[in-house]
Amino acid sequence: MRLLDFLRSARPTHAVFGTYVFDPWFYEAYVLRHLRAQGCTSQFLLIDHDCLVGTLEAGGLPPTLMGTHYLAQGICAPEAFHPKFLLLLTRESGELLLGSNNLTVPGYTHNDELLVHLHYQPDDTVYLAIFQQCWRYIQRCLALQRSSEVVLNHCQQIGEECPWLLADSAPPADTWLLGWPGGDGSIADQLAGILSKEVIRHVTIMAPYFDAKLAALTRLAKTFSHADVRVLVQPARCTVNPGRVPSLPKNVRFFDLSDVGRGEDGARFFHAKSILLESRKNSYCLMGSANISVAALYAPPDHGNAELCLLSRHNDPEHFRSVLGINGTLDDLTPIDMTAVKTAYSAPATVPPGDPPPLQPTAAEQDGKMVRVFCGLESAAITWETLQLRVHQTAVPLSQRTAGELRFAAPETSTGDASTIGRLTCRWKGKDWSSTPFVIHNIVVLQRYVQAGRFGKLAGYMRRGSFLSGDLSAVASLMAEMLSGFPPAQAKPAEPARPTAKTASAQSLEPSAEPVRVPYEQFLTGSEHQKTWVAKAGYATHSDLDAYLRLVASSIERSAGGESEPAAEPLLDEQEEDENDDQPKIRTEEERPAASVRASEVTQFQKRFLSLLQRYREELNQSNLQKEPLSLRDMGKLIVIGQTTLFFCCKDLPGDFQSPSGKKRRYLELEQVRESLQDILHCWFLSNRGRLIDRVMIEPGEHFYRTAEIEFFLVTVGLLAAALRRVSNTSFDRLLAAATHWRSCVHSARLQEGEITLRAQRVIENLGLEPIMHADRWQATWREAAGLGRTLAAAQKTLRDFGDGAAWLGFNKTHAAGSPQIGDILWNPAVGFTSVAELRVGGKIWLSTDWNEQSKGYAAGNFANLSAIARGGPSPNAAIRQVCQSVIAAIGK
């Protein structure tokens, strides 16, 4: 199993990790990023408390997003919190990876690790009970110390969203979850209970770590005294104490793992832990986190490590050896003399017991202006008046104290979007004392990032331009999810998990319909913020989102008038300056378009869409310290950059795309793509100036490089456009919507009908489109839109066959075609379909689709006047008249 591939393809809603060692750099830059890109904005880590403290200590490479972008709880087990697991959950399903690998680069990429991968789905419930036991195990771990409220509530909400996790189903017949805390006694006791009726003949142990006295190995060998106990180790890197080997029971023999093909002769660290047990009839495999130590296997209650293992049984005695690839070889191997080997054993340092600290902070959270620090120990000798919370260079005194909980006013330095690390200080026993460091979870910031990170992700990618060199499939996935991910209008019984504290402020209780939290730019951009996109985006005068925005805005702003009147230029930017909580102006009953949709519903939809973008924009501007304030139109440009990127995630560029040098370029290597994408974008924006929608983008052919994600995205866009078309009223509006259909509703054999249906229903539900487009009838709407797209595509082909603008100029002159009227639909190969917004002197016209305010107008003669031809004006031939009529009929519907 390749874990990175697994992470890239996972689509969970929630992720819960358990790990002993934690590499914040790897987690934050890779795991967090990939899972978030796939929509998993709820991520929660359980980490050994001491290891977590180690990563927070000054001089390390501490986490920067913990407590703001994900939750973490240090677990205080009596010795160590040692489980390693990954639980991925959705409302209906789950995946559990349980094994030996920590959340570190070697643990995920190159150690020799052993894992087990379990699934749960409604139609595959074999391991449901294991998931439920694992969830209960997590709760027990959280109870080992005073965990923060925000963490406990987060878990509660995961439980509410995944109710299947909370039940107590019948366990599977051949699989057991063994763990501490919980379980009946130590791991060894639990194992012995299950094996009580078996006569074990062979025991095969694989592990890197052993206790110094080899006591656990001795006890195992004695427990299975009739068995041949074979211990497979990486001699130089295991911690077997050679001095204790002679005192082991005689049934124990050691073998070199490299002889069975593991560990790559020492180059790869063997970190897996497993015990295989074989009777005459059955074989068992214990796998997970437990090493061969007393702390892991034999510790009495309230001592030793927290561990988590899975025991699996098979009725073929050799099954697991076969699965692990060591079948049949062990009997032929020569044992090694461990007394003569220099292992990695070092005598444990004897640390003289010191005074326990007066306070042991286990968690902290900031709720508005209050910071709560949760503590495990409280010494009576503390001088409470001297107790302070220290964050960076700021210290604040204790303001309130209850059992296990200390409250402070939030230091001013702890309000950012990055991790805040604090310490407690006080006078104790006549000296200055400082606690171990802890991360202060910021509830308000967490609500923003843990709940809705998709837009943030997108914004981060776009603003730095690094999406061009990063994982493009992640962007594709993100884009595909984007429009379907808006929170519903009202809070529903099962809300997506959202971290709140029980005492959360009013702000934290705002309904989740308040959408779009934006970018965790610091996370995504790091120090690489680039402004290149700004200059490039300036060239994009038309985009789908621009069109949407104009449709929305023009619907709101449109003055009463006939269909042939041009749509007013919406003053989006000016509107934005007057942002307040006022409702947008709602049109009166008389002004309402003649559509079968109620104005209030239209307005609700429009308002939601616009406010979404406004919020998105606000947060982007805020993140950028208002240095490059974005207008709503800029937002449209941002989206179009993403779309273009998706489009160019391909091996070959479309045939009609030419680089400035005139040579067709191929993008076969990712490195080349990385090098060239920005150039392509630049060219695309340049070539796109003055066009309705770029030809390269919308050519409705079936390109082989369309991925399912792109298809999904296009379906989403198509549905949105279909809905907009129903609320639009002017010919120009319908033209834009139609152009969007053309682009996005091309049928593809790649998608299954069922998948599209699910997606469509989700889009409709999330966007609240039910009044406009009923979920049951989406298919008809979509197909109608696709039909419209095909009509326009066919018309374009016929018109293009006649000739270019010069050809139309000649024709119009020869036949004295006359000036167009306002509202007439025109076509030109360079501009595409458009309509007349304004007539100017000198035969110049202003196009409704020309948003470039610098435009001096176009010469009308260079266009085919589809409306005039359809009305019976001069036409080059009958075929063209026919397509003109079909276009007018289609758009006029």
Question: In the range 521-540, which residues lie near another protein by CB under 8 A?
Answer: 526-528, 530-532, 535
Q: How far is the CB of 112 from another protein (least distance, A)?
A: 7
Q: Which is nearer to another protein, 263 or 700 (CB)?
A: 263
User: In terms of DSSP bridges, do strands 394-402 and 405-409 run parallel, antiparallel, or are they unpaired?
Assistant: antiparallel
Total residues at the site for another protein (CB under 8 A)? 77
State which of residues 12, 14, 23, 836 lies at the interface with another protein (CB under 8 A). 23
Other CB atoms within a 10 A radius of the CB of residue 511 amount to 11
The answer to whether residues 168 and 501 touch, using CB atoms and an 8 Å cutoff, is no
Q: How far is the CB of 335 from another protein (least distance, A)?
A: 23
State which of residues 36, 69, 82, 268 lies at the interface with another protein (CB under 8 A). 268
Q: Which is nearer to another protein, 293 or 603 (CB)?
A: 293
Q: Which is nearer to another protein, 30 or 846 (CB)?
A: 30
Amino acid residing at 359: L
Residue 93 — φ and ψ, nearest 5°? -145, 170
Tokens of 345: 């054993």
Q: Give residues 570-609 in contact with another protein (rule: CB under 8 A).
A: none
Under rule CB under 8 A, residue 104 binds another protein? yes
- Tokens 């179009």, residue? 640
Q: Give residues 639-678 in contact with another protein (rule: CB under 8 A).
A: 652, 661, 663-664, 666, 670, 675, 678
Under rule CB under 8 A, residue 29 binds another protein? yes
The window from 23-31, 362-370, 713-721, 752-760 that contacts another protein (CB under 8 A) reads 23-31
Q: How far is the CB of 847 from another protein (least distance, A)?
A: 30
Q: Give residues 296-315 in contact with another protein (rule: CB under 8 A).
A: 310, 312, 314
State which of residues 11, 25, 209, 611 lies at the interface with another protein (CB under 8 A). 25
State which of residues 16, 51, 141, 710 lies at the interface with another protein (CB under 8 A). 51
State which of residues 36, 70, 74, 112 lies at the interface with another protein (CB under 8 A). 112
The answer to whether residues 199 and 284 touch, using CB atoms and an 8 Å cutoff, is no
Question: What is the distance between the alpha carbons of residues 298 and 304, in angstroms, rounded to a whole number?
Answer: 8
Handedness of CA 747, 750, 752, 755 (dihedral sign): negative
Under rule CB under 8 A, residue 624 binds another protein? no
The helix/strand/coil state of 720 is helix
Closest CA to 236 of 206, 274, 269, 273: 269
State which of residues 32, 76, 118, 294 lies at the interface with another protein (CB under 8 A). 118
Question: What is the distance between the alpha carbons of residues 272 and 270, in angstroms, rounded to a whole number?
Answer: 6
Three-state SS string over 532-576 comes to HHHHHHCCCCCCHHHHHHHHHHHHHHCCCCCCCCCCCCCCHHHHH
Q: How far is the CB of 244 from another protein (least distance, A)?
A: 23
Q: Which is nearer to another protein, 502 or 664 (CB)?
A: 664
Handedness of CA 489, 495, 498, 499 (dihedral sign): positive
Q: Angle, to 10 degrees, between the axis of helix 708-727 and the axis of helix 544-557?
A: 20
Closest CA to 833 of 893, 890, 762: 890
Tokens of 865: 């006047």
Under rule CB under 8 A, residue 106 binds another protein? yes
- Binding mask 742-781 toward another protein (x if CB under 8 A, else -) reads ----------------------------------------
Tokens of 188: 């060894």
Under rule CB under 8 A, residue 195 binds another protein? no
Q: Give residues 313-332 in contact with another protein (rule: CB under 8 A).
A: 314, 320, 323-325
- The CA-atom distances, in angstroms, between 744 and each of 32, 204, 561, 698 are 31, 58, 31, 8
Other CB atoms within a 10 A radius of the CB of residue 264 amount to 14
Q: Give residues 149-178 in contact with another protein (rule: CB under 8 A).
A: 174-175
User: In terms of DSSP bridges, do strands 274-278 and 283-288 run parallel, antiparallel, or are they unpaired?
Assistant: antiparallel
The answer to whether residues 839 and 848 touch, using CB atoms and an 8 Å cutoff, is no
Cis (ω within 30 of 0) for the bond into 820? no
Under rule CB under 8 A, residue 351 binds another protein? no
Q: Which is nearer to another protein, 323 or 370 (CB)?
A: 323
Q: How far is the CB of 875 from another protein (least distance, A)?
A: 39
Question: What is the distance between the alpha carbons of residues 544 and 640, in angstroms, rounded to a whole number?
Answer: 7
Beta pairing partners, 433: 426
Q: Which is nearer to another protein, 442 or 645 (CB)?
A: 645
- Tokens 């702390």, residue? 295
Q: How far is the CB of 135 from another protein (least distance, A)?
A: 17
Q: What is the CA radius of gyration of the chain?
A: 33
Q: Which is nearer to another protein, 206 or 769 (CB)?
A: 206
The answer to whether residues 873 and 808 touch, using CB atoms and an 8 Å cutoff, is no
Q: Who's near 296: CB < 8 A, 6+ residues apart?
A: 82, 187, 216, 289, 290, 304, 305, 307
Q: Which is nearer to another protein, 108 or 433 (CB)?
A: 108
Q: Who's near 292: CB < 8 A, 6+ residues apart?
A: 205, 207, 209, 210, 211, 216, 217, 220, 231, 273
The window from 1-9, 71-79, 134-142, 292-300 that contacts another protein (CB under 8 A) reads 1-9
State which of residues 60, 397, 538, 629 lies at the interface with another protein (CB under 8 A). 60
Under rule CB under 8 A, residue 2 binds another protein? yes
Q: How far is the CB of 716 from another protein (least distance, A)?
A: 23
State which of residues 10, 11, 26, 370 lies at the interface with another protein (CB under 8 A). 26
Under rule CB under 8 A, residue 87 binds another protein? no
The window from 115-123, 137-145, 764-772, 875-883 that contacts another protein (CB under 8 A) reads 115-123
Q: Which is nearer to another protein, 23 or 307 (CB)?
A: 23
Under rule CB under 8 A, residue 55 binds another protein? yes
Q: How far is the CB of 249 from another protein (least distance, A)?
A: 26
Q: Give residues 452-491 in contact with another protein (rule: CB under 8 A).
A: 465, 469-471, 473
The answer to whether residues 253 and 335 touch, using CB atoms and an 8 Å cutoff, is yes
State which of residues 93, 274, 484, 849 lies at the interface with another protein (CB under 8 A). 274
Q: How far is the CB of 669 from another protein (least distance, A)?
A: 9
The answer to whether residues 52 and 24 touch, using CB atoms and an 8 Å cutoff, is no
Q: Who's near 378: CB < 8 A, 6+ residues apart?
A: 358, 359, 403, 404
Under rule CB under 8 A, residue 21 binds another protein? yes
The helix/strand/coil state of 428 is strand
Question: What is the distance between the alpha carbons of residues 632 and 572, in angstroms, rounded to a whole number?
Answer: 7
Phi-psi region of 403 (alpha: psi -120 to 50; beta: other; left: phi over 0): beta
Under rule CB under 8 A, residue 59 binds another protein? yes
Q: How far is the CB of 295 from another protein (least distance, A)?
A: 17
The window from 99-107, 291-299, 506-514, 810-818 that contacts another protein (CB under 8 A) reads 99-107
The window from 111-119, 162-170, 417-425, 857-865 that contacts another protein (CB under 8 A) reads 111-119
Q: Which is nearer to another protein, 4 or 377 (CB)?
A: 4
Q: Which is nearer to another protein, 465 or 636 (CB)?
A: 465
Question: What is the distance between the alpha carbons of residues 56 and 35, in angstroms, rounded to a whole number?
Answer: 23
Under rule CB under 8 A, residue 701 binds another protein? no
Under rule CB under 8 A, residue 57 binds another protein? yes
Q: How far is the CB of 312 from another protein (least distance, A)?
A: 4
